């Protein structure tokens, strides 16, 4: 199952999916970015987080990802 959430809520702050070592978004471990900090997290933990419902943070750039309809509306 692929990860479809653009931004998720990590302890009350927004986080974005960055990628994984395998290049797949459903790898066992994924990298997320919270502000300027990049973290490693189990995919299952990331997938269990609720979607971020606030405004898209200014630091949440797309890093070469094409914008889709879900990128424009978060929550």
Dihedral of alpha carbons 31, 73, 58, 55, sign: negative
pLDDT for the residue 74: 41
pLDDT for the residue 40: 92
Work out the pLDDT band at 64, boundaries 50, 70, 90: very low
Q: How many other C-beta atoms can be found within 10 angstroms of the C-beta atom of residue 39? A: 13
- For residues 9-15, give the mean pLDDT: 85
Higher model confidence: residue 2 or residue 15?
15
* Dist. CA 42–CA 26, nearest whole Å: 10
- For residues 57-74, give the mean pLDDT: 52
pLDDT for the residue 11: 81
């Amino acid at each position: 199952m692929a990860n479809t959430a653009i931004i998720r809520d990590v302890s009350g702050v927004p986080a974005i999916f960055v990628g994984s070592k395998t290049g797949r978004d459903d790898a066992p471990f994924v990298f997320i970015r919270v502000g300027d900090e990049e973290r490693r997290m189990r995919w299952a933990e990331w997938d269990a987080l609720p979607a971020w419902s606030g405004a898209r943070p200014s630091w949440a750039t797309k890093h070469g990802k094409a914008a889709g309809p879900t990128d424009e509306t978060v929550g």
